[in-house]
Amino acid sequence: MGRLENKVAVITGAASGIGRGTAIRFAGEGAAVVIADLNEEGGAAAVRECRENGGNAVFQKTDVASEADIRAAIARAVKEFGKLDIIYNNAGVVGAAGSIEHTSVDDFDRTHAVLTRGVFLGMKHAIPEMRRIGGGSIISTASVAGLVGGYGAHAYSAAKAAVINLTRSVSLEVAKHKIRVNCICPGGINTPIFNALTSDANYIEQLLAAACSLKRAGHPEDIANMALFLASDEAQWITGQAMVVDGGMTAGSTIYESAEWGGGMYGANAYFGPSFEKR
């Protein structure tokens, strides 16, 4: 019996990275999964991997900044599988990068449309379906960037802090419906989101490893493990929490002070979109 047997999940940003790793893990634990993403090629591959791992999955093209798309992704889960037990609001971008005085309003707004509005919409439209069946689990990807200051992307950091407090406030509202609301704060996870910055995966691996006390980069499976726990009945008494999975990064790190991270990787003012788009 899998830990998510007979449960139905929508995972946004599930065509690559953390979302894809989590979808495959959920499917292997018995869940039926809606892969909600803009990346059709990656989404089709994720569906195949979920099925190869013993589960069921379908792809739904989804722009998380669009209320109609989020509503459609949740409706797809109910139509295909009969209900919704879990939503994982995971889709993300690095977004606006560079100095605050040169960050454009458009890039700032585009960043928050994905990272903040996307989470809000996922919560808004998942709650009625979860209430209908007597409960559920809402999970969102925040970041250690929302917990601590550092030399990084300002719009991203602000958006991730918003996700953490939105998690807390919504958890209080829906607890009476047995709906749990938590978020995960990853540290340095080596995913395709870095493709726009460099094609040298080994360089990213080494850089992220240097940022934490455990001295290895994080991988999608590390976050999938926490998401699985929060989605499962094992976490029935956990809500309103920001779960840090960072290899010890927030215990003390100097990565944000390095010229390599702040200057060499992000460089001049720019906007970094979805991981499947080339810069």
Cβ(15)–Cβ(92) below 8 Å: no
Residue of 88, 156, 203, 256 marked active site: 156
256 flagged as catalytic = no
List the beta bridge partners of residue 9. 33, 86
Distance between CA atoms of residues 230 and 141, nearest Å: 12
Distance between CA atoms of residues 158 and 96, nearest Å: 11
Q: Give the ranges where 53-191 is alpha helix by DSSP (H).
A: 67-81, 105-112, 118-133, 154-174
Distance between CA atoms of residues 106 and 80, nearest Å: 37
CA angle 248, 186, 218 (to 5 degrees): 70
Among candidate residues 231, 261, 265, 218, the one with its CA nearest the CA of residue 18: 218
Distance between CA atoms of residues 250 and 252, nearest Å: 5
SS3 21: helix
Query: Which positions are annotated as active-site residues?
Result: 156
